[in-house]
Structure 1
Protein backbone atom coordinates (compact mmCIF):
# COMPACT_ATOMS: atom_id res chain seq x y z
CA UNK A 1 0.00 0.00 0.00
CA UNK A 2 1.28 3.46 -0.82
CA UNK A 3 0.45 6.88 0.56
CA UNK A 4 -0.25 9.82 -1.73
CA UNK A 5 -0.30 13.38 -0.36
CA UNK A 6 -1.73 16.49 -1.99
CA UNK A 7 -2.20 20.17 -1.14
CA UNK A 8 -5.79 21.26 -1.74
CA UNK A 9 -8.25 24.07 -1.09
CA UNK A 10 -10.71 21.68 0.60
CA UNK A 11 -11.08 23.69 3.78
CA UNK A 12 -14.32 22.84 5.59
CA UNK A 13 -16.89 20.18 6.27
CA UNK A 14 -19.02 21.37 3.37
CA UNK A 15 -16.07 21.01 1.00
CA UNK A 16 -15.35 17.52 2.29
CA UNK A 17 -19.01 16.60 1.79
CA UNK A 18 -18.85 17.88 -1.81
CA UNK A 19 -15.74 15.87 -2.69
CA UNK A 20 -16.68 12.69 -0.81
CA UNK A 21 -18.65 10.90 -3.56
CA UNK A 22 -15.90 11.43 -6.12
CA UNK A 23 -13.04 10.44 -3.83
CA UNK A 24 -14.92 7.42 -2.52
CA UNK A 25 -15.40 6.27 -6.10
CA UNK A 26 -11.72 6.70 -7.01
CA UNK A 27 -9.91 5.85 -3.78
CA UNK A 28 -12.51 3.91 -1.82
CA UNK A 29 -14.41 4.87 1.31
CA UNK A 30 -12.13 5.14 4.32
CA UNK A 31 -8.95 5.33 2.23
CA UNK A 32 -8.60 9.10 2.23
CA UNK A 33 -8.78 12.07 4.58
CA UNK A 34 -8.26 15.82 4.46
CA UNK A 35 -6.48 17.64 7.29
CA UNK A 36 -8.32 20.96 7.33
CA UNK A 37 -6.40 22.09 10.43
CA UNK A 38 -3.20 22.85 8.49
CA UNK A 39 -2.82 25.75 6.05
CA UNK A 40 -2.00 23.39 3.14
CA UNK A 41 -5.26 21.39 3.62
CA UNK A 42 -3.43 18.09 3.03
CA UNK A 43 -5.35 15.26 1.36
CA UNK A 44 -3.86 11.86 2.19
CA UNK A 45 -4.85 8.80 0.17
CA UNK A 46 -3.94 5.23 1.12
CA UNK A 47 -3.98 3.09 -2.01
CA UNK A 48 -2.77 -0.04 -3.71
CA UNK A 49 -3.98 0.76 -7.21
CA UNK A 50 -5.14 4.40 -7.46
CA UNK A 51 -2.73 6.73 -9.23
CA UNK A 52 -1.94 10.31 -8.28
CA UNK A 53 -3.39 11.45 -11.60
CA UNK A 54 -6.72 9.73 -10.85
CA UNK A 55 -6.92 11.54 -7.50
CA UNK A 56 -6.05 14.89 -9.09
CA UNK A 57 -8.71 14.45 -11.77
CA UNK A 58 -11.34 13.42 -9.21
CA UNK A 59 -10.72 16.42 -6.96
CA UNK A 60 -10.67 18.82 -9.92
CA UNK A 61 -13.91 17.28 -11.20
CA UNK A 62 -15.48 18.06 -7.83
CA UNK A 63 -14.42 21.71 -8.30
CA UNK A 64 -11.37 21.98 -6.05
CA UNK A 65 -7.72 22.87 -6.57
CA UNK A 66 -5.12 20.19 -5.95
CA UNK A 67 -1.39 19.68 -6.39
CA UNK A 68 0.89 16.90 -5.31
CA UNK A 69 2.64 17.69 -2.03
Structure 2
Protein backbone atom coordinates (compact mmCIF):
# COMPACT_ATOMS: atom_id res chain seq x y z
CA UNK A 1 0.00 0.00 0.00
CA UNK A 2 1.35 3.43 -0.91
CA UNK A 3 0.58 6.75 0.75
CA UNK A 4 0.08 9.82 -1.45
CA UNK A 5 -0.07 13.39 -0.14
CA UNK A 6 -1.67 16.42 -1.79
CA UNK A 7 -1.97 20.13 -1.08
CA UNK A 8 -5.69 21.00 -1.39
CA UNK A 9 -8.17 23.85 -1.13
CA UNK A 10 -10.48 21.72 1.06
CA UNK A 11 -10.56 24.05 4.05
CA UNK A 12 -13.68 23.44 6.16
CA UNK A 13 -16.22 20.88 7.28
CA UNK A 14 -18.63 21.94 4.55
CA UNK A 15 -15.91 21.33 1.95
CA UNK A 16 -15.31 17.89 3.46
CA UNK A 17 -19.01 17.06 3.18
CA UNK A 18 -18.83 17.76 -0.56
CA UNK A 19 -15.67 15.78 -1.26
CA UNK A 20 -16.36 12.84 1.08
CA UNK A 21 -18.93 11.00 -1.10
CA UNK A 22 -16.64 11.28 -4.14
CA UNK A 23 -13.56 9.94 -2.32
CA UNK A 24 -15.56 7.26 -0.51
CA UNK A 25 -16.99 6.03 -3.82
CA UNK A 26 -13.54 5.59 -5.41
CA UNK A 27 -12.88 1.86 -5.10
CA UNK A 28 -9.10 2.30 -5.42
CA UNK A 29 -8.87 4.40 -2.25
CA UNK A 30 -8.40 2.27 0.87
CA UNK A 31 -8.27 5.21 3.29
CA UNK A 32 -8.13 9.01 3.10
CA UNK A 33 -7.94 12.01 5.42
CA UNK A 34 -7.72 15.80 5.12
CA UNK A 35 -5.79 17.67 7.81
CA UNK A 36 -7.76 20.91 8.15
CA UNK A 37 -5.31 22.17 10.81
CA UNK A 38 -2.42 22.07 8.32
CA UNK A 39 -1.87 25.31 6.37
CA UNK A 40 -1.69 23.28 3.14
CA UNK A 41 -4.90 21.34 4.01
CA UNK A 42 -3.06 18.11 3.26
CA UNK A 43 -5.03 15.23 1.80
CA UNK A 44 -3.46 11.86 2.57
CA UNK A 45 -4.61 8.89 0.50
CA UNK A 46 -3.71 5.22 0.95
CA UNK A 47 -4.06 3.18 -2.23
CA UNK A 48 -2.71 0.05 -3.88
CA UNK A 49 -3.08 0.96 -7.53
CA UNK A 50 -4.02 4.62 -8.06
CA UNK A 51 -1.47 7.24 -9.08
CA UNK A 52 -1.42 10.96 -8.13
CA UNK A 53 -3.17 11.97 -11.36
CA UNK A 54 -6.07 9.59 -10.59
CA UNK A 55 -6.54 11.19 -7.16
CA UNK A 56 -6.27 14.69 -8.60
CA UNK A 57 -9.05 13.91 -11.11
CA UNK A 58 -11.24 12.31 -8.45
CA UNK A 59 -10.98 15.36 -6.15
CA UNK A 60 -11.65 17.68 -9.09
CA UNK A 61 -15.03 15.94 -9.62
CA UNK A 62 -16.14 17.48 -6.32
CA UNK A 63 -14.93 20.95 -7.33
CA UNK A 64 -11.69 21.03 -5.35
CA UNK A 65 -8.01 21.02 -6.26
CA UNK A 66 -5.40 18.49 -5.15
CA UNK A 67 -1.78 19.00 -6.12
CA UNK A 68 0.78 16.29 -5.34
CA UNK A 69 3.32 17.24 -2.68
Shared fold by TM > 0.5?
yes
Q: Which runs of 4+ in 1 moved over 3 A?
A: none
Identify unmatched segments of 5+ residues in structure 2. Answer: none
Give the structure with the larger helix fraction: 1
Residue 21 (structure 1) shift: 1.0
Partner of 1:11: 11
- 1:50-69 to structure 2, matched below 5 A, reads 50-69=50-69
Q: If the length of structure 2 is used for normalisation, what is the TM-score?
A: 0.89
Identify unmatched segments of 5+ residues in structure 1. Answer: none
Please state if 1:44 is matched with 2:44: yes
1:49 and 1:24 map into 2 onto residues whose CA distance is 16
1:5 and 1:36 map into 2 onto residues whose CA distance is 14
Aligned residues: 67
> Could you say what the CA RMSD is over the residues aligned between the two structures, in angstroms?
1.0
1:3 and 1:19 map into 2 onto residues whose CA distance is 19
2:18 and 2:36 map into 1 onto residues whose CA distance is 14
